[in-house]
Amino acid sequence: HGKGAWSIGGNAATSFSNPYGEASYSISIDDVYSGEKEVAAAASSGAETNTKTTGVHTQGDTHFVTEWYVPKGTSQSGLTAYSDSLKPFNVAGGEDVSKNEGARGSAKAIGYAGNGFSQAGQDGNINTVRAFGQPFFVLQPLHG
């Protein structure tokens, strides 16, 4: 709140299952700016999705305040991803990045998990679940 401050945040998550494998994908992004003086801004997001053998949880949180022209704040992000299947190919991973610059902070977490009977099948399942949510994954951090 306050003149010149803004915040944006959002998240999305999708999961997919078929007889040949399963996959989950999640993204959380927050970006804030606390302005030049006596203002604050905050954003927080989180999403979780899972199938019988895969799961992903992402979260982001950032809070900034500018007092007497001196900005200070915190940004943090995190993710958990797992694939626990008897299928021969399993993968889980992602990235999380948080960044503070002046009166601006951002937090982003992207996670994925998938499995299949082949490398191509596993990758195909992950690409499929990501494509299901693509209209919702367009939110990108304004920097970084």
If we measure between CA atoms, which residue out of 134, 45, 123, 49 comes closest to residue 89?
Answer: 123
Per-residue tokens: 33: 């700016």
What are the pLDDT digits (tens) for 63-117?
A: 999 888 889 999 999 999 999 999 999 999 999 999 998 889 999 999 999 999 9
- Give pLDDT, residue 132: 79
- Starting at the earlier edge strand, list the strands of the sheet with 70-83: 39-50, 54-67, 70-83
Residue 2 is predicted with a pLDDT of 57
Task: Share the mean pLDDT of the chain.
Answer: 88
At residue 143, does pLDDT exceed 50? Answer: no
Distances (CA, A) of 119 to 80, 115, 134: 22, 8, 22
